[in-house]
Amino acid sequence: MDLTTPRKLETPYQADALDLRLLAAIQDGLPIAPHPYADIAARIGISEQAVLERLAALQHAGIIKRFGVVVRHHELGIAANAMVVWDVADTQVDQLGPCLANFEFVTLCYRRPRRLPQWRYNLYCMIHGKSRDEVLAHLTHMIQSCGLEDLPHEVLFSKRRFKQRGAAYFPAPVLAEP
Amino acid sequence: MNNIDQRLLNDYQHGFPLSAAPYADIAHELGITEDEVLTRLQALKASGAISRIGAVVRPNTIGVSTLAAIQAPTEELERIAAIVSAFPEVNHNYEREHAINLWFVITARNALHRAQVLTNIAAQTGYAVHSFPLERDFHIDLGFELKWT
């Protein structure tokens, strides 16, 4: 037994091959039909009850972080979005992240590695709004609320959307791996 | 957009019913028929307002992902974007206002597969691909509160 690795109190749920097939079967969306889970169950050869139990377990484990209607902001009049990137001291970034992530107009907030010398930024957030001006007003509010006045940052508004869909999960090759 | 459509879009972004007849459950909550729920959701999907009803998977729990970017000359951008979008491993691909102007997300089976995709995109486009893999996720995803005024 490896005593150098701290033990976690709970055993994390491990998605198995059937979970991956299930996620692959719903990656283009649940059928909009009276019994969608039964339809999915028939497609992958398990019971409807097993589909429901697995989806609940995947959510409980945090592997599915959200299950429901996925909207397209742009089509709903939330036409502007900007990826705002920040250069935060490595010792502060994990404390600051939750503040940026907590606004209702923020949909993503991640720490990512710098790529010096070309790219100094290590904290990213996505800000949405009806217009550029609204996004910039949200940004001003964020800067004031989180005390970001002195942090170097850049605002990368989106222009053209070339592709947008849910991630694909490539179930077959995963099944082939140990 | 009427009030029922607004509630269908806003209220079921998370915690979608896990039951034999989820659309009937929603119909009951909204005081309309199951048929009306189905018809309205199909129309919202056809119009593009709904991308899908389904799971948003936490990054790097199933497979591995990365945010990648290319600095593309303006006159080359569309050609390069089309090459990038053609990869099944790419799920988002946007032009952004910056010298590094093409930003896309790659989701792959594992780190080796991800590295192969990055290499292949660089080879096929002829441009260097920057990769910024996620180190920590700070956001709790409850969907996006839609406000109609």
Cβ distance B95 to A55 less than 8 Å, yes or no, reads no
Whether residues A148 and A114 share a domain: the answer is yes
What is the mean predicted confidence (pLDDT) over A81-107?
Answer: 96
Question: Which comes out higher in pLDDT, residue B12 or A6?
Answer: B12
Chain B CB contacts of A80 under 8 Å are none
Whether residues A88 and A132 share a domain: the answer is yes
Residue A114 forms part of a structural domain: yes
What is the spatial distance between Cα B63 and Cα B70, in angstroms, rounded to a whole number?
23
Indicate the angle between helix axes B3-10 and B34-46, nearest 10 degrees: 80
Whether residues A109 and A46 share a domain: the answer is no
Residue A108 forms part of a structural domain: yes
- Greatest Cα pair distance in chain A: 57
Domain count of the fold of chain A: 2
Cβ distance B143 to A68 less than 8 Å, yes or no, reads yes
Whether residues B37 and B69 share a domain: the answer is no
Residue B126, Ramachandran bin (φ over 0: left; ψ between -120 and 50: alpha; else beta)? left
| DSSP codes of every residue in A90-116 | TTTHHHHHHHHHTSTTEEEEEE---BT
ipTM of the complex: 0.85
Per-residue tokens: A89: 């001291």
Single out the residue of B15, B39, B14 nearest to residue B27, CA to CA: B39
Whether residues A33 and A79 share a domain: the answer is no
Query: In tens digits, what is the pLDDT along chain B, a chain of 149 residues?
Result: 789 999 999 999 998 999 999 999 999 999 999 999 999 999 999 999 999 999 998 888 888 999 999 999 999 999 999 999 999 999 899 999 999 999 999 999 899 999 999 999 999 999 999 999 999 999 877 777 776 55
pLDDT > 70: percent of chain A: 86
Give the CATH number of the domain where residue A25 resides.
Answer: 1.10.10.2890
Residue B143 forms part of a structural domain: no
Residue A174 forms part of a structural domain: no
**Residue B84 distance to chain A (closest CA, Å):** 9
Cβ distance A109 to B139 less than 8 Å, yes or no, reads yes
Rounded to 5 degrees, what are φ and ψ at B121? -65, -40
Whether residues B114 and B81 share a domain: the answer is yes
Find how far residue A124's CA is from the centre of its chain.
12
What is the spatial distance between Cα A17 and Cα A3, in angstroms, rounded to a whole number?
30
Q: Pick B57's closest partner by Cβ from A65, A71, A111.
A: A65
Whether residues A107 and A137 share a domain: the answer is yes
Whether residues A146 and A82 share a domain: the answer is yes
Whether residues A81 and A127 share a domain: the answer is yes
The residue among A69, A102, A130 that closes a domain is A69
Whether residues B38 and B74 share a domain: the answer is no
**Cβ under 8 Å to B: A residues 61-120:** 62-73, 75-76, 78, 83, 94, 97-98, 100-101, 104, 106-113, 115, 118-119
Whether residues A78 and A65 share a domain: the answer is no
Which pLDDT score is estimated for A2? 43
- Contact present, B23 and B41 (Cβ < 8 Å): yes
Residue A61 forms part of a structural domain: yes
Question: Which comes out higher in pLDDT, residue A46 or A165?
Answer: A46
Chain A CB contacts of B90 under 8 Å are 163
> Side chain identity at A121, as an amino acid letter?
Y
Residue B9's domain comprises: 3-46
Whether residues A65 and A79 share a domain: the answer is no
Residue A8 forms part of a structural domain: no
Whether residues A124 and A86 share a domain: the answer is yes
Which pLDDT score is estimated for B144? 74
> What's the pLDDT band for A168 if we cut at 50, 70, 90?
low
> What's the pLDDT band for A55 if we cut at 50, 70, 90?
very high
The residue among A69, A87, A106 that closes a domain is A69
Residue B56 forms part of a structural domain: no
Residue A32's domain comprises: 17-69
| β-pair type (B50-57, A106-111) | unpaired
Domain count of the fold of chain B: 2
Residue of B40, B62, B100 to mutate when probing chain A, most A C-beta within 10 A: B62
Secondary structure (3-state) at B100: coil
Cβ distance B139 to A108 less than 8 Å, yes or no, reads yes
Give the CATH number of the domain where residue A81 resides.
Answer: 3.30.70.3460
> Side chain identity at B4, as an amino acid letter?
I
Q: Pick B49's closest partner by Cβ from A71, A101, A113.
A: A71
Find how far residue B88's CA is from the centre of its chain.
13
Secondary structure (3-state) at B109: coil
